[in-house]
Amino acid sequence: MGICGYNAKMGDGIRLLFEGMYEAIFDKSEAEGISVVDVLRRELIEIPGINVALRSGDKTALKMFYGLNVMALAHFSTVLTNTERDKKRSFMSEVEGFIRCLEEVEDFSAALPRAKSQTDEAIGERATEIAEWISRRYCFEKV
């Protein structure tokens, strides 16, 4: 996979991360007397502005924060366009789709032969093959 490989513990961690996000969003909605949808809409306005500041930093924590915000932005946008009334179910359903995607990419990657040599070029060619498969598999299909 494009990270370091994939295993079930990573999936569990992603699931736990997004469950925590949902709880935080729900808590904000309760505390402010607004809907979960309204909190998500506000996040979609705030995140891009925050990311501008994060991208200008070179500290590892800021880069990780930026990456997390990119994940949240994509996720929240999808949840808001989903017509399912149960927002928590919708929220977590999208997470399960993401985890399945990671699992499938890992399976595809594991089935490919390793690069014949460990040169940058050979590794890059293998990565391109994985990227092309991802594009064919997911760009025109809902994950």
For the purposes of burial, counting CB atoms within 10 Å of the CB of 65, is it exposed (0-12), middle (13-18) or buried (19 or more)? middle
Question: How much of the chain, in percent, has pLDDT values that exceed 90?
Answer: 71
pLDDT of residue 65: 95
DSSP the chain: --SS---HHHHHHHHHHHHHHHHHHHHHHHHHT--HHHHHHHHHHHHHHHHHHHHT--SHHHHHHHHHHHHHHHHHHHHHH---S-HHHHHHHHHHHHHHHHHHHHHHHHHSPPPSS-SHHHHHHHHHHHHHHHHHHHTTS--
- The whole-number average pLDDT for the span 110-120 is 86
Q: Which residue did the predictor score with more confidence, 10 or 84?
A: 10
Question: How much of the chain, in percent, has pLDDT values that exceed 70?
Answer: 95
pLDDT of residue 84: 76
